[in-house]
Structure 1
């Protein structure tokens, strides 16, 4: 897809305007985000993504639009998995509920900027070296297997600070309590970081670790850097509202990791086939239409089976409590 410099500048300008509008309308004043507010904004961001896909369809045809929707859905589903870690981070740093939306907003902005760097690097690699698709494909297949192994493990996940965050905390002294939304305070003549800045950095830099599999995944669906960037942007920008909307429902998505592993494995195989095709080997390639349908189908099945399994677990737990109470009587 031939994207002009003007369109790039215009797109980034619109995204920045949307972020600013989001901040002044819903995020400027610290408050506890209600389910209603989160639901409205989640719908707004989804509608904006659909409108952007419609714009691509009108201007460039069905292929780029289908690639955008496939990439957007994939990145959105992978970002839901990120929310589990975000909850752990919020708990570790004991972030008050009224400040959580501010933390997520700026954490997501940091993540978006860092992902843009990853995308630029990935685009340069795939445009220069076709063998990179072998590496991306093998990495996604390995990640898919790792997800299955982690899902089958009974060990509870814990958040561990990455090296960058540890280095920052070691070099720059910080306070042990929050001071509203301030990032720095002066105490006894010393300029100190607050936990607010640390947790924002934790959210943003931790997301980069997730980008290690999500960026190769979307390059398996499209090699157009414009579509890769916009799909990531729309997926991330609605992540804050999604956190408050389905935060309590995340534990019910017990099969999410299995669904994501199937999607990543599928895209990994697709990348390897594409690499073989680029090398002159006659192998079938998976179309973007088939990819989009497969991703949607896997997510739908995963959601249904997760809700059914969660309901059975809740029913079994209630029956166990009833039997124990009956035995006590």
Structure 2
């Protein structure tokens, strides 16, 4: 896995264009706070996916198939981890009862924080990898641990980890329980106080920090090019806001998705360990010699495993959702036997409603002109 280099003009131009797109998306979210329709969300998500595929095509033309393959594999991996982010975002939004109209703004801030954290970790990761090859052992072991944690930890438990921090904040600063649009601060009885938005931002930020710790080692297991790592992260986060509204309640029902993501993390963890063994320089392992028999997993194999894992997990979740819907008891419906029989002393609900309406509404024939 050698670091690949692309023309400087392409890298700089890509950064400029991506920053402009993100800035436009941020401005749009703040200028037009609204609840996007399913059609609008689908169009935006499709646009960003198409944009990523066009970018991969450019890398194929300007670079080569290895560049394009590494970008797609990295993008799909980061996209799957970003979707996992949404599970916790949904819990945070529900727990703090964020008005749906302002959830776009809140999500955009969460995405910007995620980009900042991931950018920092990308720079640190690139520097560490350049200096110490043994770090791949650490990354691999960390991803294997994360995979096990992902498979057996409930997202509700993850969201609860912020409770102590939030309680600490409420003891130290004045926070009202009432939202004032999307404002961070408002005035109550002549005093400036923070709104619950500040707590939501902190909760999203800590969540982003945790996910950045998982995602950066994962993508460095696919490519060591900081440019590909960063652009894959940016494309994975673009459209995440619209995907949140597109999936809606369905995201909670994709029950097997976390197992697919856990398998991807475990696979990349194994790949990193094998790469570390192949490049081994640690004196207490094989006398500091490279372990030649350790196989290197190529980019296209990685891409196939990642796509298959996500597809199987998603399809299995949808099948389970359909089976559960079929097994659910049918709603009880009124039948002809339930209708009152004339003369049996009972009165239908419709008759009672009509009678009540007649007794409570003014009679036009007796109302004075």
Instruction: Check whether TM > 0.5.
Output: yes
Moved more, 160-169 or 304-313: 160-169
Q: 1:219 maps to what in 2? A: 220
Alignment of 1:27-46 (within 5 A): 27-46=30-49
Q: How far apart are the structure 1 equivalents of 2:198 and 2:12?
A: 29
Q: Is the 8 A contact 1:109 1:204 kept in 2?
A: no
Report the alpha carbon displacement of residue 189 of structure 1 after superposing the two structures with TM: 5.2
Q: 2:301 maps to what in 1? A: 290
SS in 1 for 2:186: strand
Decide whether aligned partners of structure 1 residues 316 and 86 sit closer, same or farther in structure 2, where only a CA change above 3 A counts: same
Q: Does residue 1:312 correspond to 2:331, yes or no?
A: no
CA RMSD of aligned residues (A): 2.4
Q: 2:56 aligns with which of 41, 53, 56?
A: 53
Report the alpha carbon displacement of residue 318 of structure 1 after superposing the two structures with TM: 2.4
Q: Does residue 1:147 correspond to 2:158, yes or no?
A: no
Moved more, 163-172 or 174-183: 163-172
Gaps of 5+ in 1: 323-329
Q: How far apart are the structure 2 equivalents of 1:288 and 1:203?
A: 32
Decide whether aligned partners of structure 1 residues 127 and 55 sit closer, same or farther in structure 2, where only a CA change above 3 A counts: same
Report the alpha carbon displacement of residue 142 of structure 1 after superposing the two structures with TM: 1.5
Report the alpha carbon displacement of residue 156 of structure 1 after superposing the two structures with TM: 7.0
Q: Is the 8 A contact 1:107 1:201 kept in 2?
A: no
Q: 2:291 maps to what in 1? A: 281
Q: 1:159 maps to what in 2? A: 160
Q: How far apart are the structure 2 equivalents of 1:166 and 1:114?
A: 24
Name the larger-Rg structure: 2
Q: 1:88 aligns with which of 80, 87, 91?
A: 91
Decide whether aligned partners of structure 1 residues 120 and 90 sit closer, same or farther in structure 2, where only a CA change above 3 A counts: same
Q: 2:135 maps to what in 1? A: 132
Q: What is the TM-score when the length of structure 1 is the normalising length?
A: 0.89
Decide whether aligned partners of structure 1 residues 32 and 164 sit closer, same or farther in structure 2, where only a CA change above 3 A counts: same
**Matched length:** 320
Gaps of 5+ in 2: 281-289, 333-369
Q: 2:117 aligns with which of 114, 117, 120?
A: 114
Decide whether aligned partners of structure 1 residues 268 and 298 sit closer, same or farther in structure 2, where only a CA change above 3 A counts: same
Q: Is the 8 A contact 1:76 1:236 kept in 2?
A: yes
SS in 2 for 1:318: coil
Q: 1:97 maps to what in 2? A: 100
Report the alpha carbon displacement of residue 7 of structure 1 after superposing the two structures with TM: 4.8
Q: Is the 8 A contact 1:88 1:159 kept in 2?
A: no
Q: Is the 8 A contact 1:107 1:202 kept in 2?
A: no
Q: How far apart are the structure 2 equivalents of 1:303 and 1:252?
A: 10
Decide whether aligned partners of structure 1 residues 115 and 172 sit closer, same or farther in structure 2, where only a CA change above 3 A counts: farther
Q: 1:326 maps to what in 2? A: none
Q: 1:176 maps to what in 2? A: 177
Decide whether aligned partners of structure 1 residues 31 and 171 sit closer, same or farther in structure 2, where only a CA change above 3 A counts: same
Decide whether aligned partners of structure 1 residues 120 and 164 sit closer, same or farther in structure 2, where only a CA change above 3 A counts: farther
SS in 1 for 2:329: helix
Q: Is the 8 A contact 1:92 1:159 kept in 2?
A: no
Report the alpha carbon displacement of residue 170 of structure 1 after superposing the two structures with TM: 4.6
